[in-house]
Amino acid sequence: MRGVRTYLDWNATAPLRPHARAAMVAALDVAGNPSSPHSEGRRARAIIEDAREKVAELVGARPADVVFTSGATEANNAVLAGGWERILVGATEHDSVLAPARKSGAWLLDIPVDAQGVVRRERLWAALAESAGARALLSLQLANNETGVLHPLAECADLARQHRLAIHSDVVQGAGRVPIDIAALGVDYLSLSAHKIGGPKGSGALVLREGARLPSLLTGGGQERARRAGTENVVGIAGFGAAAEAALGEVRAMERVRLLRDGLEREALAIAGEAIVIGAGADRLPNTSCLAVPGTRAETLVIALDLAGVAVSAGAACSSGKVSASHVLGAMGLSRDVAAAAVRVSLGPTTTERDLWVFLTAWAEAVGKRRSRAVA
């Protein structure tokens, strides 16, 4: 049907959930400041605390340990700027971890990954041993945003605890897609973003392990238990809470998404025999596929698919629409030819078999045109 779009870029932003939209619209009608003691203020405060409980439940935390932020980027920056003497980061971390780590002034150690994109345990162990005795932090994402590859986070956190390091994880891509429990993972800090789970853009959270300490993110008021000053984004937080509640209920249903993803990959490889699935040999998120046809340009494929009504990404969608070389794929040791061809397809709970058919039809046409030009 003309004008109908097929959205397969859930890792960039999940569509706003109707439940989250309804919660936000209702919050718009609440006039009170959540710090005010009158009835209107208490109504606004109740919205925030209800959302706090739902976000906490999503990651198995106490509500008191959830600090609302403007997003995972702020949460990541807050942790990385914590005055650490040493910071250990995975080589495939998101830029919102790598950039503040480099800026922190700490002694920075990059932990390499293997060809599948999984952190190399022996290199991590050596770096941990080297950092023992220092005020040090390990920051390791749960799942990579470009490939969907999962790190053995609980195992790595256990190693880090043995050397008395603090542990932070950006879990934004895993939330709502795999079970997350902050205690089971053994980490001290988790970063979340509402728009990855069907909430509004511009709302997120930093979740602390019980007893974990962190300097105030912002000062000038007593909000968020004096950990982040400023009047809270009541509307955004309301939508975040509603999205977290819905996402938690969908984790068990992600096997359907995995089956769709696996079918998409089989058909995409059948259409383009030279295509590869990056990270296919590792445990991955059930919704993510990073496909590459050597000799193509990712931006060309993205444009061709977009013109056919299909939205996908070339790597991370965090650079104002710019397409540049992926440090993630480079860290995995992939050639420039393969890295330049990588397209990320990410599914969601409402993705249908028809969506995949539309994608595969457009994929076949885009790859076929490339072959025709090569023959000519």
List all residues 6 or more positions away from 165 whose beta carbon is below 8 Å from its beta carbon: 88, 128, 131, 136, 137, 138
Q: Which of 115, 129, 259, 318 is catalytic?
A: 318
Identity at 361, one-letter amino acid code: T
Main-chain dihedrals φ then ψ at residue 89, nearest 5 degrees: -130, 145
How, if at all, do strands 276-277 and 288-292 pair? antiparallel
How, if at all, do strands 166-170 and 310-311 pair? unpaired
Cα distance between residue 277 and residue 219, in whole Å: 46
Token pair, residue 2, equals 């003309």
Q: What angle do CA 206, 117, 86 make, to 5 degrees?
A: 50
Cα distance between residue 66 and residue 57, in whole Å: 10
What contacts 24+ positions apart, CB below 8 Å, involve 62-67? 62/210, 64/225, 65/207, 65/208, 65/209, 65/210, 65/212, 66/205, 66/206, 66/207, 67/205, 67/206, 67/207, 67/208, 67/217, 67/224, 67/225, 67/227, 67/228
Burial class (CB in 10 A: 0-12, 13-18, 19+), 41: middle
Q: Examine the residue annotation and report whether 318 is marked as an active-site residue of this protein.
A: yes
Token pair, residue 81, equals 């700027």
Just list the catalytic residues: 318
